[in-house]
A and B are shown apart, each in its own frame.
Chain A
Amino acid sequence: MPSQNMQSQKQILEMICSHLEKIKPEAVGIGPDTDLIQELGLESLQVMDLVMELEDEFDLSVPLNRLADVHTPAQLAQCISALLEPTDGVV
C-alpha cells in the first residue's frame, strides 16, 4: 500500500525535523534534503543520539550500520520506514 507508506514517511520526516529543530534551534530552513553534517553541522555523535530518540518513538532498532548512506532527514525517514516494514526483519 504505497499511499500509506508515503504518509508514514511524511510523519516520520516531520518527527525528525522536529527533533532537529530542538538540537539546532538556531538553524533555519531545515528541510528533507538538508545535509545533517555538512549543512546542519551535526557531529556524528549527535546523529547517533537522534537515532536513539527515534528508536524509542517508533519502538524499533535502527542499527548504526544502516546509517552509512544516510545524510539527510529524508534518507533517515526512508531508512526508518523500511525498518518498520515487517519483512525487513530487523525490528
Chain B
Amino acid sequence: MALFDKFNKIAEDRAALVQTSPSPFGTRIDEIYSPTEGRIGEHRVILAGTNNYLGLTFDPDCIAAARQALAEEGTGTTGSRMANGTYGSHWALEEELAAYLGKQSAIVFSTGYLANLGTIGTLAGPGDTVLLDADCHASIYDACRLSGAQVIRFRHNDVADMEKRLRRLGEQTQNTLIVVEGIYSMLGDQAPLAEIVEVKRRLGGFLVVDEAHSVGVLGANGRGLAEAAGVEAEVDLLVGTFSKSLGAIGGFAVSGHPELDILRYASRPYIFTASQSPASIASVRTALQLMASRPGLRDQLWRNAERLYAGLADLGYQLGPQASPVVAVLLGTAPEGVAFWHGLIEQGVYANLVLPPASPDGQALVRVSVSAAHSLEQIEQIIMAFARLKQETVSG
C-alpha cells in the first residue's frame, strides 16, 4: 500500500541487520526475576540495559504502596488531569516533588516524553526561540516542532558555541529557551551547567534542564546536576521522569516561577491524555521518599558505575567521556554492533544497542546502564562478558 512505501528503507535496513532472534530492537524480555535479572528466550541475563538506576522497581515498600492504591482507588483514572483524572494523590505528589526539589511549582505528566512536550512545546511559541544542545533527546526535538518556535542547535556541550549562537539572537534572547540535559543518554556525559549558567547570567534566556537521567543520580541529595553544580536557583525549569530512578512511569516539571501552573490550561500534552494510574503515583511517592532518605543507594550506584567504567576501559574499549551510570561502549559499524549485542546476550548480559544516526559520530554503541541493585559480582560478570568478546574479536 502506497502509504507504507515511505518505510521501505527502514524495513530493508532492519531486515539486513536483524536476521536472528532475539532482536536488539524491541527485545522481548520473557521473564523478569528482579531489578537486575531476567530471561530473554533461552538466555538468563543480567539486566544492564534498563534505566533502573536505584533499583527500586522491586522495592517492597513501593510495591506495597502500589498494591494499596490499586485496591483502594482502582486500576486507572480513565481520564485527563483536566477532567476526572486528578486524584488527591496526584496533587500530593506534585507538592512532594516541589518540596524535594526546592521549587515553588510542580506539574506531573503521564510520561517523561509528555513532560517535555507539555512544557517546552507550550512555553515556546511562534516568535520565540529554542536554543538546544545538538545531542538533546528526541522528545525535546519533538517539543520544538510542536511549539512553532524557531529552533537553533548548538554543538554538544560546547559552551562557547552556545554563547556565539545566543549572541546572534540579540534581543530575542529574552524570549529564548536554552535547553540542555543533566546526563546525556547516549554517551552518559554531563552538561557543563555552571558555565552555561554563567552565560545565561550575562546574556539572558530561560534555562531548561532535562534531568531525566540525573535526578536520583547526581547531587548530594539526588536532586540532579543542578544541585551538583550548585546552580539550582538559576534553572528556570527542571524536567524529569519517573521511569528511571523512581522506577515507575510518568514525568514532571518543577519551577521557581509561580506562573508554571497556568500551563495546566494551555498544555495539550497535559490536557489531552489520561493521567497516571493511582498505583503508579503511589509507588513514585514512596520511591521519592526512599531516594531522599537512602543516600546509600546513590553511593552504591556510583561504586558500580565507576567499577564498570574502569573495567571496560582496562579492556581497551572506547567509552563515553566520563564515568557514569550510563556507560557507552563505541563499537564501529552497525553490523558489528548487532553482532556484539548478540554476543553479549549469549554471555548472559542484556544491554541497549544504539545505531547511527541515533548514536553520535556514526558509530554503533551498546549502552550499559548500571543500577544500585547490581551486586559487585554482577558487575564483574558484565566485565568478564566484555573480556570474552574482546578475546573472540582478537583471536577471531
Q: Restricting to A49-66, which residues have a CB under 8 Å from any CB of B?
A: 49, 52, 55-56, 59-66
CB distance from B155 to the nearest CB of A (A): 7
Decide yes or no whether A46 CB sits under 8 A from chain B.
yes
Q: Restricting to B99-156, which residues have a CB under 8 Å from any CB of A?
A: 129, 134, 144-145, 148-155
Number of chain B residues whose Cβ lies closer than 8 Å to a Cβ of chain A? 18
With A64-B144, A64-B151 in contact, do A46 and B168 touch (Cβ < 8 Å)?
no
With A52-B134, A55-B165, A60-B168 in contact, do A65 and B357 touch (Cβ < 8 Å)?
no
Q: In the complex, are the beta carbons of A63 and B357 less than 8 A apart?
A: no
**Contact mask for chain A residues 69-91; partner B; CB cutoff 8 A; 1 contact, 0 none:** 00000000000000000000011
Selected from B134, B153, B154, B168, the residue in CB contact (under 8 A) with A91 is B168
- In the bound complex, what is the Cα–Cα distance between A91 and B151 (angstroms)? 13
**A43 contacts which chain B residues (CB < 8 A)?**
356-357
Q: In the complex, are the beta carbons of B151 and A65 less than 8 A apart?
A: yes
Decide yes or no whether B17 CB sits under 8 A from chain A.
no
Decide yes or no whether A45 CB sits under 8 A from chain B.
yes
Decide yes or no whether B228 CB sits under 8 A from chain A.
no
Q: In the complex, are the beta carbons of B357 and A61 less than 8 A apart?
A: no
Decide yes or no whether A48 CB sits under 8 A from chain B.
yes
**B155 contacts which chain A residues (CB < 8 A)?**
52
Q: In the complex, are the beta carbons of B134 and A61 less than 8 A apart?
A: no
Q: In the complex, are the beta carbons of A90 and B150 less than 8 A apart?
A: yes
Selected from A45, A56, A61, the residue in CB contact (under 8 A) with B152 is A61
With A61-B165, A61-B168, A61-B169 in contact, do A45 and B357 touch (Cβ < 8 Å)?
yes
Secondary structure of the B contact surface, majority rule = mixed
**B153 contacts which chain A residues (CB < 8 A)?**
48, 52, 64
Q: Restricting to B328-347, which residues have a CB under 8 Å from any CB of A?
A: none
With A46-B357, A52-B134 in contact, do A64 and B168 touch (Cβ < 8 Å)?
no
CB distance from B154 to the nearest CB of A (A): 8
- In the bound complex, what is the Cα–Cα distance between A86 and B395 (angstroms)? 62
Q: In the complex, are the beta carbons of A63 and B134 less than 8 A apart?
A: no
Decide yes or no whether A44 CB sits under 8 A from chain B.
yes
Task: Specify the chain A residue showing the minimal Cβ separation from B170.
Answer: A91
**A45 contacts which chain B residues (CB < 8 A)?**
357
A-B contact pairs, 7 of them (CB 8 A): A52-B134, A60-B168, A61-B152, A64-B144, A64-B150, A65-B149, A65-B151
A60-B168, A61-B168, A64-B150 given. 12 additional CB < 8 A pairs? A43-B356, A44-B357, A46-B357, A48-B134, A52-B154, A61-B165, A63-B151, A64-B144, A64-B152, A65-B144, A66-B150, A91-B168
Pick the 5 closest A-B CB pairs, nearest first.
A63-B150, A43-B357, A64-B151, A45-B357, A61-B168
State the B residues within 8 Å of A (CB): 129, 134, 144-145, 148-155, 164-165, 168-169, 356-357
